[in-house]
Structure 1
Amino acid sequence: MIDVSVVICALNEERRIGRQLAALDAQFDAPAFEVIVVDNGSTDRTVAVVEEWIRSSPHAAAHMQIVDASSTAGIPAARNAGARAAEGRVLAYCDADDEVQPGWVAAIAHGVQGTSLAGGRLIAFEPDGTRRGDLYGGLVATSYLPHIGCANAAVDLRTFLEVGGFDESLPRYGFEDVDLSWRIQEAGHPIVYLPDAVVHFSLSGSRASVRKRFELGKGRVLMARRFPRYDATEYTVLSTVRDAGRAGGRLLRTLVTQRRLDNRLASQAVAAAGRVAGAIVYRKGATPPRQLLVNRSELL
Structure 2
Amino acid sequence: MVFISIIIPTLNEEQYIGHLLQFLQKHPQQSHFEVIVVDGGSIDQTKEIVKTFNVTLHEADKASRAHQMNEGARLASGDILYFVHADTQLVDSFVNDIQSSIEQGIKSGCYRFKFKDPKNPLLHINGFFTRFPFKWCRGGDQTLFISKADFDTIGGFNERYVIMEDYDMLDRLEKHNIPFNVLPKSVKVSARKYNENSYLKVQIANLKAMKMYKRGEDPEKIREYYCGALDGKYKQDHLFLGN
Instruction: Indicate the percent of aligned positions where both proteins have the same amino acid.
Output: 26
SS where residue 53 of structure 2 aligns?
helix
Aligned to 1:4: 4
How much does 1:270 deviate?
2.9
Secondary structure at the counterpart of residue 99 of structure 1: coil
Displacement of 1:225 after TM fit? 2.2
Matched ranges for 1:33-72 at <5 A:
33-54=33-54, 64-69=55-60, 71-72=61-62
Q: How many residues end up aligned between the 2 structures? A: 216
Conservation of the 8 A alpha-carbon contact between 1:30 and 1:106: no
2:105 aligned with 1:123: no
- Residue in 2 that maps onto 1:97: 87
State the shift of 1:116 in Å.
Answer: 2.4
Deviations 1:160-203 (A, max 9, x none): 111011111113x3x2111111111111111112124x421111
Q: Superposed, which structure 2 residues align to 1:1-300 within 5 Å?
A: 3-29=3-29, 32-54=32-54, 64-69=55-60, 71-113=61-103, 114=105, 116-126=107-117, 133=124, 134=127, 136-137=129-130, 140-142=133-135, 148-151=138-141, 152-171=143-162, 173=163, 175-196=164-185, 198-205=186-193, 206-207=195-196, 217=208, 220-225=211-216, 270=229
Greater share of residues in helix:
2
Structure 1: gaps of 5 or more residues: 55-63, 227-236, 238-243, 245-266, 272-300
Distance 1:16 1:127 in 2: 16
Residues 115-156 of structure 1, C-alpha deviation per residue, up to 9 Å, x if partnerless?
Answer: 6211112121246799954354355514xxx77422221111
- Closer, same or farther: CA 120–95 of 1 in aligned 2, 3 Å: same
Instruction: Give the deviation of 1:39 after TM superposition.
Output: 0.4
**Helix, strand or coil at the partner of 2:36:** strand
Code of the residue aligned with 2:107 in structure 1: it is S
Contact 1:6 1:36 in 2 (8 A): yes
Matched position secondary structure for 1:169: coil
SS at match of 1:47: helix
Cα gap change, 1:208 to 1:94, in 2 (>3 Å): farther
CA distance in 2, matches of 1:25, 1:129: 32
Q: 1 or 2 for the larger relative contact order (CA 8 Å, sep ≥6)? A: 2
- More displaced, 184-193 or 215-224? 215-224
Cα deviation per residue 1:68-121 (whole Å; 9 max; x = unaligned)?
11x222211111111111111111111111211221222123223446211112
Superposed CA deviations along residues 238-289 of structure 1, whole A, max 9, x for unmatched, are xxxxxx9xxxxxxxxxxxxxxxxxxxxxx9x938xxxxxxxxxxxxxxxxxx
- Is 1:149–1:178's contact at 8 Å kept on the other side of the alignment? yes
SS in 1 for 2:216: helix
Q: The residue matched to 1:8 in structure 2 has which SS?
A: strand
Q: What RMSD over aligned residues (CA atoms) do the two structures have, in Å?
A: 3.5
Residue aligned with 2:48, SS = helix
Letter of the structure 1 residue corresponding to residue 82 of structure 2: A
Classify 1:46/1:156 alpha carbon distance in 2 versus 1 (closer, same or farther; 3 Å).
same
CA apart distance, 1:27: 2.7
C-alpha spacing 1:123/1:131, structure 2 compared with 1 (3 Å): farther
**Structure 2: gaps spanning 5 or more residues:** 231-243
Taking structure 2 as the reference length, what is the TM-score of the superposition? 0.74
